[in-house]
Chain A
Amino acid sequence: MARPPEALTEALRYAEAETRWRPLEVAFWLATLLPFVAFPSYLALASQIAITALFALSLDLILGYAGIVSLGHAAFFGLGAYAAGIVSAKAGWGEPLSGLLIAAVVAGVVGYATGFVIARFRHLALIMITLGLGVLLHEIANQAHWLTGGADGLQGVRTWPLFGRLPFDLFGYTAYAYCLCVLFALFLGVRRMTNSPFGLSLRGIRENATRMPAIGAPSRAHVRKAYTMAAVIAGVAGALLAQTTETVALEVLSFQRSAELLVMLVLGGAGRLYGGLVGTLVFMVARDRFSGINPQYWYFWIGTLLVTVVMILPNGILGGLARVLARRRSPT
């Protein structure tokens, strides 16, 4: 009878080690404040990065943790963006925080409904279903010109000052602070979730979806829950974009957005909390630099990057770093 308590303390020690804040993490979040002082002229880009990082975090939740390869994740980003945009442009309600909430609910409801479909499929059929649903939504938004503005984009979005006091200025101070706070808050939630027993069972489903029910974890119900959460977070990211740029282009729903997001996540390292954040940062800064030189061949570099990552860095930048660190720590 001495074994169970020992195993329990072992498990507790593992959980504790996983949840403890590492110095590197603290440094990372402190560094996100740098744009305010160091590069104030890049605040608009910084907000874009924060929004996309949040979007990547939501994809990481389903792809990195639950193992669902989605080529249509932009659907939820676009839903959130249009929900927040339409509430402001058509109903005249521009309060930002309640706008986020509405976007989260809309994306979450659709995510929950489609979750029933998603949980039934694996492999190619899953990729095709996510792709198909994404394209369908893109086409609906394109046709519903009266509501979404179609290919011309949704005009007339007005975002009221934050808390009624802080207006969104031209330089993007408020916008970046707002995006960063939302990103950090949701990141805390996701971090808590992935370290919970639920998060562990998601990883179990990724490794073997048929064996998990045998130890009492209902695979499909868990996949639905994770998918809904990811949809909510993607919806919030979309709403942030709509509110800070005060316009919604049809491009928010495009296949390119889903595909590029996948590239960013994999570049950083899927299945790691910071994978999406680091990947987005590297990708968007690189695009900002390179596309200025030669926009037409930007895709050549993305392609080369993808092939290199798959061939040389199978777990992304963070996976590669972890391997180097582990090797240095145990040279003996």
Chain B
Amino acid sequence: MIGPILGVLFDGFAYGMVLFLLSVGLSVTLGMMNFVNLAHCSFAMLGGYVTVTLMNALGWPFLATLPCAFVAAAVVSVVLERGLYRRLYRASDLDQVLLTIGLTFISVAAAAYVFGTVLQEIRMPPYLRGGVSLLGLRFGVYRLFLVGVALAIALILVLALEYTRFGARVRAAVDNQRMARGLGIDVDRAFAITFALGSGLAGLGGALAIEIVGLDPAFAFTYLVYVLIVVSVGGLGSIGGSFAAASLIGISDVAGKYYVPQLGAFFIYLVMVAVLMWRPTGLLGRR
């Protein structure tokens, strides 16, 4: 009785960790600059395609492709940030939404042009396949690996934000951008670096997500909705909030699909609308 429930909880949590990696960067940059970046998942998709290409065409090992996915997404995001985004920091929500949705459309079409619309697949190395038995339950090795990576990244992020000088600058900018500027903090530079790191994490998340959810050009739109749900439920600019919301949404989604399949994707939207009605700023959001 308890076994299947734990299994569903674990799968949901692993899925939630993918969502966490995909969304944490957007949460921080949104909280900092109030910039609604709907192209965030395009960076994730880029990371995914980098991994697919390196593995399938060049035969690289899976683990070696992960840093490349991170770097590629980060570099492309910096170029776009310097070239396009920075001109719209003071523009309305609508302009930001339109620009970034436009970029998402372009990325989807470009991915379809280069890689075709087929679902991409990669072969995991043997040590990440199969499962292990623990307390009479079977856990997928890859899912355990995923949870480990996500927890490590969450820990590093929290420590870096709390205990480094750069982290203090970022926190100051998120709390009160104008005051931070007044104290001589270069908010634009801090933002550019945060933006690159966040997009890089999305790229990494995209690469790690291939095994769980697959990768095709529609990825940028499908997961955009999930990522936005996580961000708005978790609250802007909060790593803990993103973590909690990603776990909640991941578990709700998997549990909803497992126990009440006829409801389909209905369940997570219900969770989102309910949370936002209760707390319009998200679980841990302050504004």
B232 nearest in chain A by CB position: A128
Find chain B residues with CB under 8 A from A38 CB: none
Name the segment of B90-98, B177-185, B204-212 touching the other chain. B90-98
Partner of A124, one of B36, B91, B117: B36
Q: Chain B, 30-55, contact with A by CB distance < 8 Å: what is the 0/1 string?
A: 10001010000000000000000000
Q: Is A49 an interface residue (CB 8 A)?
A: no
Residue total for B at the interface (Cβ-Cβ under 8 A) = 46
Find chain B residues with CB under 8 A from A132 CB: 229, 269, 272-273, 276
Q: Is B142 an interface residue (CB 8 A)?
A: no
A299 to B217, CA, bound (A): 12
Residue total for A at the interface (Cβ-Cβ under 8 A) = 40
Q: Chain A, 131-161, contact with B by CB distance < 8 Å: what is the 0/1 string?
A: 1110110011011000000000000000000
A125, B109: Cβ atoms closer than 8 Å = no
Q: Chain B, 267-287, contact with A by CB distance < 8 Å: what is the 0/1 string?
A: 001101100110011100000
Find chain B residues with CB under 8 A from A143 CB: 262-264, 266
Say how far B169's CB is from chain A's closest CB, in angstroms.
23
Check A307/B36 contact, CB under 8 A, given A135-B265, A299-B108, A302-B105.
no
A131, B110: Cβ atoms closer than 8 Å = no
Q: B residues 192-231 with Cβ under 8 Å of A?
A: 225, 228-229, 231
B273, A127: Cβ atoms closer than 8 Å = no
Q: Is B99 an interface residue (CB 8 A)?
A: yes
B105, A262: Cβ atoms closer than 8 Å = no
A306, B273: Cβ atoms closer than 8 Å = no
Q: A residues 255-314 with Cβ under 8 Å of B?
A: 255, 259, 262-263, 266, 270, 296-297, 299-300, 302-307, 309-311, 314
- How many A-B pairs have beta carbons closer than 8 Å: the answer is 119
Q: Chain A, 225-244, contact with B by CB distance < 8 Å: what is the 0/1 string?
A: 00000000000000000000
Check A297/B98 contact, CB under 8 A, given A120-B280, A124-B232, A127-B36.
no
Q: A residues 22-52 with Cβ under 8 Å of B?
A: none
B265, A259: Cβ atoms closer than 8 Å = no
Find chain B residues with CB under 8 A from A305 CB: 102
A306 nearest in chain B by CB position: B102
Find chain A residues with CB under 8 A from B228 CB: 124, 127-128, 131
Find chain A residues with CB under 8 A from B281 CB: 125
Q: B residues 88-124 with Cβ under 8 Å of A?
A: 88, 91, 93-95, 97-99, 101-110, 112-113, 117
A143 to B270, CA, bound (A): 15
B105, A303: Cβ atoms closer than 8 Å = yes
A124 to B236, CA, bound (A): 9
Q: Is A123 an interface residue (CB 8 A)?
A: yes
Find chain A residues with CB under 8 A from B87 CB: 311
Q: Is B84 an interface residue (CB 8 A)?
A: yes
Say how far A208's CB is from chain B's closest CB, in angstroms.
13
A296, B112: Cβ atoms closer than 8 Å = yes
A307 to B106, CA, bound (A): 9
Say how far A302's CB is from chain B's closest CB, in angstroms.
5
B110, A136: Cβ atoms closer than 8 Å = no
Check A129/B273 contact, CB under 8 A, given A139-B266, A304-B102, A309-B98.
yes
What are the nearest 4 A-B pairs in CB distance?
A306-B102, A303-B105, A300-B109, A303-B106
Contacts A127-B93, A302-B105 known; list 12 others, CB within 8 Å.
A121-B276, A135-B225, A143-B263, A259-B101, A300-B105, A303-B104, A303-B105, A303-B109, A305-B102, A306-B99, A310-B88, A310-B99
A sample of 8 inter-chain contacts (CB < 8 A) reads A123-B34, A125-B276, A139-B264, A262-B98, A297-B109, A299-B106, A302-B102, A310-B102
